[in-house]
Amino acid sequence: MKKAVSAIVLTGMILISSCRSNPQITEQAESVTSEPTILETQTVSQTSETVESSLQTQALSTAQIERPIIEQIITNYGNSGEASSTDNEALLSELRSINPQTADKWEQILNVWAGVNEGVMINEGVLPDGLPDTDELCIVVLGFQLNSDGSMRAELTERLNVALESAMKYPNALVLCTGGGTASQNETATEAGAMAEWLEQNGIAGDRIIVEDQSMSTAQNAIYSLGILASDYPQVRSLAIVTSDYHIPNAMLLFAAEAILVAQGDIRVEVISNAAYMAPETNYPQSIRTNAMLELINGVEEND
């Protein structure tokens, strides 16, 4: 055994000596030792994937811990409004210890919700004066249940009349139609598709119109619409909501809340105005608002 070891050492010494006396061999040796082996490359790649997976798991775990706290905050405020402030302050404090950024966002959302509960000024028939007439403004028109054959009901046409007047008043603004397939006997028809077609037929240029045709609820209107704007229209900074008067408060709250949740740093889209079709008196219970907010935090998996 000692002889074998000595032979290996001797061989190594001879090799080193040869390399020193032959620059070409030296270069080759250095090249071999400097390049990672396939095994080393695989190990680095696997390590990177492990770290990424660990971070994703950690983020998922944090979200799972946050979720019941946020649900309780929503339920408390939905049921009791400002009377729940003491309980919600304790919950926000608990949330802040887990994720300060999330706690700050929900504090902002509760402030928006309080403003909605106090009352929203509703503009009848057309958007008010003084809004930015650029493509930083997006007029968001919310859909309404289609007839079974895919044709539009009268209330949706009335909402579109308001959208048309508003789009003509602000000719440089974008117009986003949002609403999915709600025609029981026409699988290809969508609220947004029908709305976009109507707007084009009535003089709105097609390159101004954005179609969001996947949503099946107001919460999903907000989730999908803001997703499209973030990815394809990053210049948009302001939203003006167009829907029926009874629907304005919920829609403004949901779009504002989703904008806060998806905001990156201090840059976010803001809901700045509205215009409404004044519908016949409609019973719109407060519980719908709470359920819609709960849906918002669950993404697009549930419908309200």
What mean pLDDT is predicted for residues 193-200? 98
Which DSSP string corresponds to 172-225?
TSEEEEE-----TT-TT--HHHHHHHHHHHTT--GGGEEEE----SHHHHHHHH
Residue for token pair 């999903």:
220
What mean pLDDT is predicted for residues 228-252? 97
Give the model's pLDDT for residue 271: 98
Residue 107 confidence (pLDDT) above 50: yes
What mean pLDDT is predicted for residues 144-153? 97
Give the model's pLDDT for residue 171: 98
Look at residues 202, 203, 209 and name the one whose alpha carbon lies nearest to residue 173. Answer: 209
Q: Which residues pair with 162 in a beta bridge?
A: none
What mean pLDDT is predicted for residues 199-221? 98
Give the model's pLDDT for residue 32: 43
Mean pLDDT of the chain: 86
pLDDT band at 232 (very low <50, low <70, confident <90, very high): very high
Least confident of 239-243, 260-264, 280-284: 280-284
Residue 205 or residue 301, greater confidence: 205
Give the model's pLDDT for residue 16: 37
pTM of full prediction above 0.75? yes
pLDDT band at 61 (very low <50, low <70, confident <90, very high): confident
What mean pLDDT is predicted for residues 183-204? 97
| Other C-beta atoms lying within 10 Å of the C-beta of residue 212 | 25
Least confident of 26-35, 38-47, 87-96: 26-35
Tell me how far apart the alpha carbons of residues 273 and 23 are, in angstroms, rounded to a whole number: 76
Least confident of 14-23, 90-99, 147-156, 225-234: 14-23
